[in-house]
Chain A
């Protein structure tokens, strides 16, 4: 599908304001499907969104010790995150030798005092300093090793363990950027007594669909009952009461971030029992719950224990605190495909039996081998195939515009799309 006439600005760029049609009076919100199919839109997203926002790199619990590192792409660029041996701080470096370019961190994770480029053996320490150059005398006296350290990503900050980076030195500070999402992030972290840990094991999968479809899907409370029938059947077979349904609210958290917070039939390892956990877990979960009430008060503890949260941290980080906690990020590899990386987060010092229930609870629904995620993949790829048919130019994202948005409405998606439109049209 090509861009329709009028979707280009004066400089020949994509005018995203023409791809989003919001009419508050009529209660309609539409997104032009070329936003999901156009190569020009994809190129402009890389330049105007991914080069200027904060992007999730990883979690500090992945690199607890000095010299611990993980390498991974951020916005498709190879970077690595290492805990400095001298500073104890998290460093995020461009993964490229300052000499001739080869990547210097060549394993996905590990611990190392130095990162040596194998090509000509230039060697960097965990703070990025160039500490070794074979045959240094060949460079003469003015050779300045201190200016040839590894390049830091323009900005890197951690919010209570969640490490973000930005390629834009002018980007606003992380706390301001997170805005209203902070409170919800705090809930997830405080549930774990501030000791949230990423569990070992990374799910790396992909879809033949535009990345923004996964933004929508990850915070979509409307599709659960229809798409995930087989998951709910499994819960029923174990004795779960589905009459609870999915009920709650959605919120625009500012800066493109959004959340839905709701009650759902499934259990929550943090402290909402369900038959899947087995009768022996009832007392223990009661104890967990009482502890959270004592620490955080009845109201906040109730949100932690009973309510689920699907949160988007704009543009591409999902933290879903549902039947388990998943941290998921994804990056477009073209207008019609994406790479997805997902982790599971949990309280660090959880009892082994609680951890086992959490792992079970995660896998039953989530991930590329779960009972639900594969059907989400199918849904998004199916949308992408449908777009190729043409004949229909617009997606409808109007659900709930005439009322206070419910968890099954689409206000959280509209929050994303409004920010996306503004950034694509030049807003920083």
Chain B
């Protein structure tokens, strides 16, 4: 896997960050979840608030997904097994990432916002997810890593999508 090599967050261009996010999308589309997990720091969080509650705070509110590193690993192990029935066989997924914007570096973190559409096809059915990504990226031993990925959905309900059994 190609890593982004840069000595500091300040040197990163939007192009570098886009390459990183496209790589992440590719790993998800390829169901290469073990390598995808390696993009995350040991203290990573992956959060999806409820539709209709984009500001949902997982320490206080009910959300859809609130994974720390441990649960993220369990999620990947689950999806890699043949016992995650909702995703066995896997859906065909396509993550389209666009409108990438870099925020100002805060502490050791680079905030990045992007828009996405994720398409999911399985058994003759198609669904899509639309929304925004809020990332906090960090330099971890001179490799760019994700410390936080927050997925805010634009849909008002998870219908017809049904669930968020895939990784967005």
Contact = CB atoms under 8 A, between A and B. Distances in A.
A241 interface: no
Contact of B65 (A200, A344, A369): A369
A201 B62 contact: yes
A204 B86 contact: no
A355 interface: yes
How many chain A residues sit at the interface, stated as a range, is: 35 or more
Contacts of A364: 71
Interface in B12-71: 48-53, 56, 58-66, 71
B162 A201 contact: no
Nearest to B78: A230
B64 A203 contact: yes
B62 A199 contact: yes
A359 B58 contact: yes
B94 interface: no
Interface stretch (B105-113, B139-147, B152-160): B152-160
Contact of B52 (A108, A206, A208, A377): A108
Nearest to B123: A385
A227 B61 CA distance: 28
A206 B62 contact: no
B74 A359 contact: no
B66 to A, nearest CB: 5
B5 interface: no
Contact of A379 (B83, B85, B87, B158): B85
Contacts of B64: 203, 363, 367-369
Nearest to A333: B159
A359 B66 contact: yes
Contacts of A382: 85
Nearest to A362: B62
B107 to A, nearest CB: 24
A206 B158 CA distance: 7
B92 interface: no
* Dominant secondary structure at the B interface: loop
Contacts of A227: 85
Contacts of B49: 201
A258 to B, nearest CB: 26
Nearest to A355: B60
How many chain B residues sit at the interface, stated as a range, is: 35 or more
B164 A230 contact: no
A247 B164 CA distance: 31
A202 B53 contact: yes
Given A369-B48, A379-B85, A339 B159 contact: yes
A356 B63 CA distance: 12
A17 interface: no
Contact of A199 (B61, B81, B83, B165): B61
A375 B53 contact: no
A204 B78 contact: no
Given A200-B53, A204-B157, A230-B78, A356 B164 contact: no
A343 B60 CA distance: 13
A352 interface: yes
Nearest to B48: A369
Contacts of B161: 205
- In this complex, the member of A108, A201, A204, A355 whose beta carbon has the largest number of chain B beta carbons within 10 angstroms is A201
Nearest to A229: B83
A363 B87 contact: no
A269 to B, nearest CB: 14
Contact of A374 (B74, B77, B163): B163
Interface of A: 108, 199-208, 227, 229-230, 233-234, 237, 339, 343-344, 352, 355-356, 359-360, 362-364, 367-369, 371, 373-375, 377-379, 382
25 contacts: A108-B52, A199-B60, A199-B62, A200-B60, A201-B56, A201-B63, A202-B50, A202-B52, A204-B50, A206-B157, A206-B159, A234-B78, A339-B159, A343-B62, A352-B59, A355-B60, A356-B59, A359-B59, A359-B62, A364-B71, A368-B162, A368-B163, A371-B74, A374-B87, A382-B85
Given A229-B83, A359-B63, A364-B71, 8 more contacts: A200-B60, A201-B61, A202-B50, A206-B157, A230-B78, A230-B83, A374-B86, A374-B163
